[in-house]
Amino acid sequence: MIIGVPKEIKNHEYRVGMVPASVRELSLQGHNVFVETHAGMGIGFSDQDYIDAGAQILPSAQAVFDAAEMIIKVKEPQACERAMLRPEQILFTYLHLAPDLPQTRELIDSGAVCIAYETVTDDNNGLPLLAPMSEVAGRMSIQAGAMALEKSRGGRGVLLGGVPGVEPAKVVIIGGGTVGTNAAQMAVGMGADVTVLDRSLDALRRLNVQFGSRVKAVYSTADAIERHVLDADLVIGGVLIPGAAAPKLVTRQMISQMKPGSAVVDVAIDQGGCVATSKATTHEEPTYLVDNVVHYCVANMPGAVARTSTFALNNVTLPYILKLANEGYREALLSDPHLLNGLNVMAGKLTCKEVAIAHQLLYADPSALLAS
């Protein structure tokens, strides 16, 4: 198979779909890899590094899209990239379609086979291709929140861990999954007063075992969210419903009643955000104020630590890339129900039920569509 790796073009996105080591694995199994020039420069890989691994360098994204049977990316295709897709071409990347109707419609119209990292599952009902980026984003959320609380950035002027004689900041984390657990780990390490809310008793028990009394694990209700959010210095939104738009758990009224200068980091922004006042921002302009509350809602947080993120992502995507390349997408999807869960769009039809519900569009069963 011919695999293409274009340079990422989202604002301050330096990650790349494949590192040279991944290219070498594909090359050794007889596949051809075309990489756009300078695609890996953001994480310290030159064109020569890719050539040495067996890739061929092409001068533009258009050349890569024209040549490749399968496109490997990191972030969702931007409008100009979506225009380059063609029927039957495989696109394997993060998509996050539930909050993005224009992208959804254009991918449907393209006729391409669009497989989303974030909806591929595993035997434990986990999301193996989302997990490493959730780990990164969860850890980064505390760094971002700590900066947002600085007075020069519009915050309260509070140090997360406090100092002897001064209370630490109150950090409230909504969601005890991968994002929430990693955020809690960082916040505890910095000495903050940490509360995590979740509806899963198993998640709360796991947090209790992992952190003991250093984290208050609280069952999530509307009342609990309101009470803890209003008392918080920093709120981390880490809620995820696979494939679907994130529920708005922090209301506009709650934001208006929070302490002036407090901060919100909405890690769920890729799926529309779990805070009513959230809107996607960029690394270039990461924050904005609503009712004197600092909002950090960068939609590609892991892109700021691009080298770490790229290697972590490649570790989990490479086996699936090899499977798709070696077997072809039909056989690969039909033989692996977990990879099949990643299929969001195919043959001009929407194959992810959660996205169809979010946009009130028709849904096509992926197994039936592949069989036909």
Active site (catalytic) residues = 96, 270
- Match 């947080």 to its residue by tokens: 301
Residue 207 zone, left/alpha/beta (φ > 0; ψ -120 to 50; rest): alpha
Strand, coil or helix: 173: strand
Residue 156 DSSP label: -
**Cα gap 270→136, rounded to integer Å:** 14
**Cα gap 108→112, rounded to integer Å:** 7
Q: Which amino acid is at 123?
A: D
CB proximity list for 302: less than 8 A, separation 6 or greater: 15, 133, 136, 137, 140, 308, 309
Name the nearest CA neighbour of 7 among 106, 79, 69, 74: 74
Strand, coil or helix: 257: helix
Strands 287-290 and 293-296: antiparallel
Instruction: Mark out the alpha helices in 149-220 (DSSP H runs).
Output: 178-189, 201-211
Count Cα neighbours of 226 within 13 Å in the Cβ-side half-sphere.
9
Name the nearest CA neighbour of 94 among 363, 368, 299: 299
Residue 131 CA: distances (Å) to CA of 49, 77, 134, 136: 28, 21, 5, 9
Q: Which amino acid is at 212?
A: G
**Cα gap 204→196, rounded to integer Å:** 8
Give the H/E segment covering residue 301: none
**Cα gap 174→194, rounded to integer Å:** 11
